[in-house]
Structure 1
Amino acid sequence: MIYINLNKKKKIGTSININTFININTSTIKKILIICLIMMLTATSYGCSKAAKSSSNNVTTTSLNQELKQKAKGYKNEEYQNGKVPLQTYIKMEGKIIQTDNKNKQIVTKSDRFILDNNGTKYQMICGEKITVKVGDKVTVYGTYYGLVQVDEIDVIMN
């Protein structure tokens, strides 16, 4: 306890009894340490399990993309123009990116619209993939046809 003489505004004595102020014995300290250790192990194992789930999601996404690529069907330009391609069909198309609505005007990223030139016929696409490709790149796109194409996968064709 601290005693202060209010008349002189000066400390006249200090005494603190730690046992009465904080009444903790060794068994309580051990319990607190065990609880802290359990909490740290729980937090660590939670982080590890999230990393494992993330890597399994990547494997699932990759295998899903491979399955969709095999399922995708290529159509001729005349089939698109004559309305022979059913809506919501998974398609495959090759061509050259000639324009984008990206602010940069030279790259295509997720959610950007772009124009794909396929043998002189232009198609509007919406990029649904987290990838960056450039205007002028020759690509193969895989996506769902809605009159325009929602692109799920883009493979750049190397020259």
Structure 2
Amino acid sequence: MQSGVFLSSTALTLLSDVALEEVLSAVQGSSSSKRKVSEASSTYAVGGEGEGEEGPSDLTVAQARKLVNGCSERPRKALRLISERGSTEVLTSDLESYVGLDEAGGLRGVYAALTRRTRNVTGDPDANLIWWDSDLTEEGSYRGRLSDMTVTSLRKVFGLD
């Protein structure tokens, strides 16, 4: 029998970058990690089988409208890109190129705002708009996914469907 520890996405937000890197390395069984740890903290809901999470939240059109209307310029711009693409898959590199990096060289504030707004709109403290893979792509980007329903709802909000 194997034992383990469950860390919620909320608990991950409390870890330092170094601690997060060590946890992710331990989970993956590797001794070194080439992650962008500053981007991989709590703003990413890291998914995988058997973690007790089911994936990205399904937002109705009304919820998507509240999400978009409550966002500032940069998170709204990220939602616009996702909507225009019409795909449930999103790459951090695409968002970085489209929205632009913040002063810290990332989009951590954008991801945090989207997560906070999603949780507010859904009333679920564990809700996540984007479900991020824990592995980097070959290009050094994280791949995330949204639910089909959420993408469809966002497209309607932006008048694309």
- The TM-score bracket by the shorter chain reads under 0.3
Q: Could you say which structure has the greater relative contact order, defined with CA pairs below 8 angstroms and 6 or more residues apart?
A: 2
Q: TM-score normalised to the size of structure 2?
A: 0.22
Greater percentage in strand? 1
Structure of larger gyration radius: 1
